[in-house]
């Protein structure tokens, strides 16, 4: 592990142990996830009484594939028709019923690169052991010639980074990597989660990235303004699950965002930046969705 990674891992571990949320505006707050889960337990009880529990579970494994073509004047020519498979919020140890439908959807697709924007784990703390086997199965089924690149979410631990890299995932922890193709290149910058674990290194990584056509991988949309200020072209994220449990019509009951509260779902724009907030594959809290399908997303870049 390089020197910067060692420092980052120690700082992240301290934040994980503190049970506090480290927010970008300088404040911190207690993580109330355990209380939120208790409230969800009551919701599940009500669903059982109403006869809707099984329907919610079935909804959660009906993962759709969204196909989007996105045009950029600044895209290098060699990356015209470059295909990105975007996965997020796998929460892969939370619902064993989800993996087969997910693999089935992925098996239908052809893509050049796979980008994963965090939340591998169901819980927000504790062992990472339950993630490893299902994630290995998933990785074995992803055929991406330009690799699998990922960053962490607020449900994830610093302990995942070396384990996932051993599996073949290129983890980006406030780091950038150049993807080269036929003499052209694009830049990927992966930012550590800023919803629970913000540090100024998140901003520095965006400010210090190489120039060129830049894609930001961030767990949540909460760095939208920094990415726009630093001339990123595309920002891929998840975190919101598009609400996961929504009112009829898809209106979220919970957003879990401090900033960018209107960036809950789908495409958004800010100056020259195109952002996309995916509904994600998995679920958190409870393995249930209503009025809000899970998704994997295939982007085709055009110039």
Q: Give the residues lining the site for Fe ion (CB under 5 A).
A: 89, 119, 284
Is the Cβ of residue 114 or residue 279 nearer to Fe ion in the bound state? Answer: 279
**Three-state secondary structure call for residue 259:** coil
β-bridge pairing 113-117 and 82-87: parallel
Whether the Cβ atoms of residue 142 and residue 148 lie closer than 8 Å to each other: yes
Compute the least distance from the CB of residue 153 to Fe ion, in Å: 6
Is the Cβ of residue 157 or residue 284 nearer to Fe ion in the bound state? Answer: 284
Compute the least distance from the CB of residue 207 to Fe ion, in Å: 27
Is the Cβ of residue 209 or residue 278 nearer to Fe ion in the bound state? Answer: 278
The angle formed by the CA atoms of residues 236, 75 and 242, to the nearest 5 degrees, is: 15
CB atoms within 10 A of CB 293: 14
Write phi, then psi, for 57 (nearest 5 degrees).
-65, -45
Q: Which two tokens stand for residue 297?
A: 């997303």
Is the Cβ of residue 119 or residue 193 nearer to Fe ion in the bound state? Answer: 119
Handedness of CA 280, 283, 287, 293 (dihedral sign): negative
Compute the least distance from the CB of residue 89 to Fe ion, in Å: 4
Is the Cβ of residue 76 or residue 118 nearer to Fe ion in the bound state? Answer: 118
Compute the least distance from the CB of residue 220 to Fe ion, in Å: 9
Write phi, then psi, for 256 (nearest 5 degrees).
55, 45
Compute the least distance from the CB of residue 280 to Fe ion, in Å: 6
Helix-strand-coil split of the chain, %, nearest 5: 30, 25, 40
Compute the least distance from the CB of residue 275 to Fe ion, in Å: 17
Compute the least distance from the CB of residue 90 to Fe ion, in Å: 8
Is the Cβ of residue 59 or residue 209 nearer to Fe ion in the bound state? Answer: 59
Q: In which region does residue 234 sit, left (phi positive, over 0), alpha (psi from -120 to 50) or beta (all else)?
A: beta
**Three-state secondary structure call for residue 235:** strand
Is the Cβ of residue 158 or residue 284 nearer to Fe ion in the bound state? Answer: 284
**Three-state secondary structure call for residue 282:** coil
HSE-CB for 153 with a 13 A CA cutoff:
28
Is the Cβ of residue 149 or residue 239 nearer to Fe ion in the bound state? Answer: 239
Handedness of CA 262, 218, 135, 295 (dihedral sign): positive
β-bridge pairing 113-117 and 148-151: parallel
Compute the least distance from the CB of residue 26 to Fe ion, in Å: 24
């Amino acid at each position: 592990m390089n020197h910067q990674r060692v420092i980052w891992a120690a700082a992240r571990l301290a934040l994980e142990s503190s049970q506090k949320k480290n927010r970008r505006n300088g404040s911190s707050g207690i993580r109330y996830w355990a209380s939120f889960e208790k409230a969800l337990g009551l919701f599940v009880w009500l669903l059982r009484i109403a006869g809707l529990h099984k329907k919610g579970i079935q909804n959660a494994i009906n993962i759709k594939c969204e196909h989007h073509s996105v045009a950029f004047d600044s895209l290098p020519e060699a990356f015209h028709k470059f295909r990105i498979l975007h996965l997020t919020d796998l929460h892969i140890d939370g619902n064993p019923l989800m993996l087969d439908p997910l693999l089935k959807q992925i098996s239908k697709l052809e893509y050049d690169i796979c980008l994963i924007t965090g939340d591998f784990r169901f819980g927000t703390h504790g062992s990472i052991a339950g993630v490893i086997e299902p994630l290995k199965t998933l990785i074995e089924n992803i055929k991406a010639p330009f690799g699998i690149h990922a960053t962490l979410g607020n449900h994830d631990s610093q302990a995942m980074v070396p384990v996932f890299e051993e599996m073949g995932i290129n983890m980006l922890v406030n780091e950038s990597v150049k993807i080269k193709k036929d003499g052209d290149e694009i830049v990927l910058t992966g930012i550590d989660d800023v919803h629970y674990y913000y540090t100024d290194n998140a901003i520095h990584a965006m400010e210090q990235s190489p120039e060129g056509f830049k894609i930001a991988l961030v767990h949540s949309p909460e760095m939208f303004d920094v990415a726009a200020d630093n001339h990123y072209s595309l920002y891929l994220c998840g975190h919101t699950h598009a609400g996961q449990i929504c009112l009829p019509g898809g209106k979220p009951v919970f957003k879990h965002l401090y900033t960018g509260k209107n960036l809950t779902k789908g495409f958004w724009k800010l100056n020259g930046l195109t952002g996309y907030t995916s509904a994600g594959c998995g679920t958190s809290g409870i393995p249930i969705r209503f009025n809000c399908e899970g998704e994997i997303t295939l982007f085709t870049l055009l110039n």
